[in-house]
Structure 1
Amino acid sequence: MAYDNICKYLAENYPADLVRWLHDIEVTEISVLKTELNTEPIHADSLTLLQTANQILQWEFQTLPASKPSLPLRMLKYWVRLKEKYNCPIEQVVIFLKFTTSSKAYTNQLLESNTSHRYRVIRMWEQDPEQFLANPALLPFATLAFSESPNRLLEQVAAAVDRIEEPLAFTNISACTQLLAGLRFDQRLITELFPEDVMQESVIYQKIIQKGHKLGLLEGKREG
């Protein structure tokens, strides 16, 4: 499952809400930038330009800490290309989605003999769920937040999603919530709490299915 695609969808459609959460900044002028960084193309998960501050915010969503090249090296490569292209301040944040005890999820810098590069790290399992429960755009992330009673938290999230009145927002936020919840909860519990037919109507769910279908066809051609 392409969990980073879900996060990219939320970042592209609710950028101000993620800026408020990740950077504690209220913004009125904001642009979502193309995420491909040229030369040998590499794709960032999300690039956001704060126009009034002329600052770029980069968010990387990681399901697992393993990465090739290593995540610290990737973050340095992103920073260099962004600096070359936009020549403005850059703040980078890595968000780890799934609980892990790996030391890589607690690393926030690249340290080499003559090079040092730092970025921020957020581990979802350490986050207070209240900040997500209070904002419909962030409800999908609430499923991964800290809780001594995870099943009770999922019930709270489902109830909050059910209160979203705008039909399209309800459909897509519900689908994103169910998909991200799959990183932590048994599918049977998710199905009990959320209407399953909503998934089929969701734009983001259909995009993920289509992408998976295309990748499957591509792999089939390669094997052939």
Structure 2
Amino acid sequence: MAEKERRPFDTGLRGLAARYSRDFLAWLQGTQAVFEQNLDPVIIAQERRADFLVRFRNEQGQTRLLHAEFQRQVTEAGPPGERLPFRMAEYGLAVYRRYGQVPQQVLVLLQPAAAAERLPDTFEDGGIRARFRILRLWQLDPQPLLAASQVGLLPLVPLMGGTSVEELLSACVEAIDRRVESTQQRAELLSVALLLASIRADRAFLTAFMESRAMFDLLRDTPLGQQLLQESELRGELRGELRGEQRGEQRGEQRGRVEGLRQALVRQLTHRFGNLPDALLAALQGVTDPERLEQLLDAVIDASDIDAFCSRAQLP
């Protein structure tokens, strides 16, 4: 079965782990492990790609393999062959077939959920048994990573436990700024940190965070930076329209303000998503509360498509 298209933070994590292989090895296996080389992660037979696969030497000088997977969502539905324990066992056998050694395996879970809490660390069926280690990031203390010398692990901090995502992201950014001199390296690490933070925080928060720390210039050339910059500019345009309508309200033109807000809302929806359904236009025509219209304008910015807007706004 071909591997499904992965979201940007999956690609970002793979790239981060590949570039900072020694840092991830030290985290997952201990500082006594000696890195030897990155291995080709493509599992041709399964048309899949392992997230992290390296060869290392342990304390006894023995050569071993380490395989890690990063997973955001955990599901207990579907056939057994699509569930994570089976997939980890499948990866292990594929690596054994290719490199002649069963790897030590770690599954790193990114997002808390009931299914993630219950996930077993073993696949067992009949005489087949494969065991792997599970790291649930939200259960881990971020302080060891913030204090360690492995800067490649810092982008994981926003998904760890103990405090709010804002405090974790702030601590992560401060550590990167303090310990990384290269502008390009800082941009790469911060980009992945913000991508991972987007699992826990919405776009409006990330945009405000970047604005408050003047990070747009540094991250302007990254995909997330470009997207958040566009949303920030759009938010500014909307706020400008709101200020104009507020001046009308001060002149006592409440009806004109409501109509102006409605027109701005329809204009932005059409600009982003094309022609609007008649049912939606009729529903918007019935909205006469200016505060409600302001909320709908904010919902336009965070929506990925017209269905997401309608769902968030509770409109037909």
TM-score by length of 2: 0.60
Match for residue 57 of structure 1 among 66, 87, 109: 66
Judging changes above 3 Å, is the alpha-carbon distance between structure 1 residues 34 and 114 closer, same or farther for their aligned structure 2 residues?
A: same
User: Does the alignment pair 1:150 with 2:186?
Assistant: no
Judging changes above 3 Å, is the alpha-carbon distance between structure 1 residues 200 and 53 closer, same or farther for their aligned structure 2 residues?
A: farther
Judging changes above 3 Å, is the alpha-carbon distance between structure 1 residues 44 and 199 closer, same or farther for their aligned structure 2 residues?
A: same
Unpaired segments of 5 or more residues in structure 1?
210-224
CA deviation map 1:60-119 (0-9, x unaligned)? 000101386111111111111111221224100000011112156531111212222110
Judging changes above 3 Å, is the alpha-carbon distance between structure 1 residues 74 and 129 closer, same or farther for their aligned structure 2 residues?
A: same
- Verify the 8 A CA contact 2:41 2:49 in the aligned structure 1: yes
Match for residue 219 of structure 2 among 179, 190, 199: 199
- Verify the 8 A CA contact 1:161 1:174 in the aligned structure 2: yes
Q: Which has the higher contact order (CA 8 A, sep 6+)?
A: 1
Match for residue 12 of structure 1 among 18, 42, 54: 18
- Verify the 8 A CA contact 2:71 2:110 in the aligned structure 1: yes
Equivalent position SS for 2:134: strand
Instruction: Report the equivalent of 1:141.
Output: 156
Structure 1 residue 53: Cα displacement: 3.3
CA deviation map 1:149-200 (0-9, x unaligned)? 3322222122222222111210100111111110012323323333134333
Query: How far apart, CA to CA, are the structure 2 residues paired with 1:193 and 1:160?
Result: 16
Q: What is the identity, as a one-letter code, of the residue corresponding to 1:48?
A: V
Query: How far apart, CA to CA, are the structure 1 residues paired with 2:138 and 2:110?
Result: 8
Range that drifts further, 91-100 or 182-191? 182-191
- Verify the 8 A CA contact 2:165 2:197 in the aligned structure 1: no
Q: In the comparison of the two structures, how many residue pairs are matched?
A: 205
Unpaired segments of 5 or more residues in structure 2?
1-6, 228-316
Counting only pairs closer than 5 Å after superposition, residues 19-98 of structure 1 correspond to structure 2 as 19-50=25-56, 53-66=62-75, 69-98=82-111
CA RMSD of aligned residues (A): 2.3
Equivalent position SS for 1:143: helix
Judging changes above 3 Å, is the alpha-carbon distance between structure 1 residues 19 and 125 closer, same or farther for their aligned structure 2 residues?
A: same
Identity of matched residues, %: 24
TM-score by length of 1: 0.82
Equivalent position SS for 2:159: coil
Counting only pairs closer than 5 Å after superposition, residues 143-222 of structure 1 correspond to structure 2 as 143-163=158-178, 164-194=180-210, 195-202=215-222, 205=223
Q: What is the identity, as a one-letter code, of the residue corresponding to 1:143?
A: P
When you count helix as a share of all residues, which structure comes out higher? 2
- Verify the 8 A CA contact 2:93 2:102 in the aligned structure 1: no
- Verify the 8 A CA contact 1:93 1:120 in the aligned structure 2: yes
Equivalent position SS for 1:139: helix
Judging changes above 3 Å, is the alpha-carbon distance between structure 1 residues 71 and 104 closer, same or farther for their aligned structure 2 residues?
A: farther
Q: What is the identity, as a one-letter code, of the residue corresponding to 2:168?
A: L
